């Protein structure tokens, strides 16, 4: 599946003589983040091949990966189990738009305390889950593994080799690794992490076959799922000017970063930039419930 690139028109682009296109992977599906669809694709083929009927995975309460797994499981005929971070979420999960929708798509939940969640890769936790739910195909938190990276290698089209710079948001780095592997060595790949931490580089190196990439680490806005007033206003301005809806956790931070780098003359004149809109729009409703509770500005939908 090949997704079109949409040109963005903003005064700052004209002033600095750079071009920006956005690959609208968000349009793949209204509920599944584009990159989560890519990451699940070959994993579901493999799960079927190995004879599994159940998928189990891990995630936070607003996780795009949880939403995508529930939906893809329903479409492809798998039972799905979501192990969710935070025991307390279990008492009011039906107030959470992401989990409510996942439930409507047939996902069963197991809510576990945050300390236990941190041991999600431990043998004993997994053995307990098999005892409770029977055999399952395990998808890691965030969905990143070798087959997920393979799926993300299909994001770029042949014609995208004309771009000088390709930008993508980074959670676990699986999506970026796929883009790196599919890129031309002369292209520069920039990843924008939405969380703090140095571990990401190592994780990406595990899957990336080229070295033409770097991380822009100044645009996490305090960490994963943290948003500032400035970011919310940026999202709303950007939507008004371009009609493109960005999400606050990933794509909004990336585009904020790209525009900031453009303002700082980071890119030479005549640079052609492609940014990947990975989706994530389903998470806005949940983020808005949090912002509303704190009496902060809401994200326009």
Ligand X SMILES: *Cc1c(COP(=O)(O)O)cnc(C)c1O
User: Which parts of this chain interact with ligand X (CB under 6 A)?
Assistant: 33, 35-36, 64-65, 142, 144, 169-176, 247, 250-251, 278-280
Q: Report the residue number, 64 or 96, with the smaller CB distance to ligand X.
A: 64
Burial class (CB in 10 A: 0-12, 13-18, 19+), 214: exposed
Q: Report the residue number, 209 or 268, with the smaller CB distance to ligand X.
A: 209
Q: Closest distance between ligand X and the C-beta of residue 16, in Å?
A: 26
Q: Report the residue number, 257 or 279, with the smaller CB distance to ligand X.
A: 279
CA atoms of 163 and 133, how far apart (whole Å): 47
Q: Closest distance between ligand X and the C-beta of residue 173, in Å?
A: 5
Q: Closest distance between ligand X and the C-beta of residue 49, in Å?
A: 23
Burial class (CB in 10 A: 0-12, 13-18, 19+), 205: middle
Supply the angle between the helices 174-182 and 34-49 in degrees, to the nearest 10: 90
Residue 142 near residue 36 (C-beta atoms within 8 A): no
Q: Closest distance between ligand X and the C-beta of residue 215, in Å?
A: 11
CA atoms of 167 and 277, how far apart (whole Å): 9
Q: Report the residue number, 16 or 253, with the smaller CB distance to ligand X.
A: 253
Cβ-proximal residue to ligand X, closest one? 280
Return the SS3 of 92: coil
Which residues sit opposite 6 in a β-bridge?
A: 22
Q: Closest distance between ligand X and the C-beta of residue 270, in Å?
A: 28
CA atoms of 226 and 249, how far apart (whole Å): 7
Instruction: Return phi, psi of residue 88, to 5°.
Output: -65, -25
Instruction: Kindly state the tokens that stand for 201.
Output: 């580089």
Q: Closest distance between ligand X and the C-beta of residue 249, in Å?
A: 7
Question: Phi-psi category of 50—alpha, beta or left, where left has phi over 0 and alpha has psi -120 to 50?
Answer: alpha
Q: Report the residue number, 16 or 216, with the smaller CB distance to ligand X.
A: 216
Q: Report the residue number, 152 or 165, with the smaller CB distance to ligand X.
A: 152
CA atoms of 26 and 36, how far apart (whole Å): 10
Q: Report the residue number, 16 or 235, with the smaller CB distance to ligand X.
A: 235
Q: Report the residue number, 136 or 191, with the smaller CB distance to ligand X.
A: 191
DSSP strands (E only) in the chain: 5-7, 19-24, 54-59, 79-85, 107-112, 137-139, 165-170, 188-193, 213-215, 272-277
Q: Closest distance between ligand X and the C-beta of residue 185, in Å?
A: 22
Q: Closest distance between ligand X and the C-beta of residue 191, in Å?
A: 8
């Amino acid at each position: 599946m090949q997704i079109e690139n949409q040109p963005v028109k903003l005064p700052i682009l004209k002033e600095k003589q750079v071009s920006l296109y956005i690959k609208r992977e968000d349009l793949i599906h209204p509920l599944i983040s584009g990159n989560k669809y890519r990451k699940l694709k070959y994993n579901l083929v493999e799960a079927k091949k190995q004879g599994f009927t159940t998928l189990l995975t891990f995630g936070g309460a607003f996780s795009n990966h949880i939403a995508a797994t529930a939906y893809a499981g329903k479409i492809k005929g798998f039972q799905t189990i979501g192990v969710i971070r935070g025991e307390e979420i279990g008492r009011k999960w039906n107030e959470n738009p992401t989990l409510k929708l996942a439930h409507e798509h047939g996902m069963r939940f197991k809510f576990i305390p945050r300390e236990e969640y941190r041991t999600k890769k431990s043998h004993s936790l997994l053995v307990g889950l098999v005892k409770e739910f029977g055999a399952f195909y395990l998808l890691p938190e965030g969905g990143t593994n070798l087959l997920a990276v393979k799926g993300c290698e299909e994001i770029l089209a042949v014609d995208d080799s004309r771009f000088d710079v390709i930008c993508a948001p980074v959670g676990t780095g699986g999506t970026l690794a796929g883009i790196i592997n599919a890129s031309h060595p002369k292209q520069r790949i920039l990843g924008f992490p939405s969380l703090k931490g140095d571990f990401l580089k190592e994780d990406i190196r595990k899957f990336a076959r080229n070295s033409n990439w770097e991380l822009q680490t100044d645009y996490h806005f305090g960490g994963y799922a943290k948003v500032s007033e400035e970011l919310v206003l940026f999202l709303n301005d950007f939507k008004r000017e371009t009609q493109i809806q960005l999400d606050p956790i990933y794509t909004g931070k990336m585009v904020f970063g790209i525009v900031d780098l453009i303002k700082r003359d980071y890119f030479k004149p005549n640079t052609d930039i492609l940014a990947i809109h990975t989706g994530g729009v389903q998470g806005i409703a949940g983020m808005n419930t949090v912002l509303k509770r704190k009496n902060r500005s809401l994200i326009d939908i």
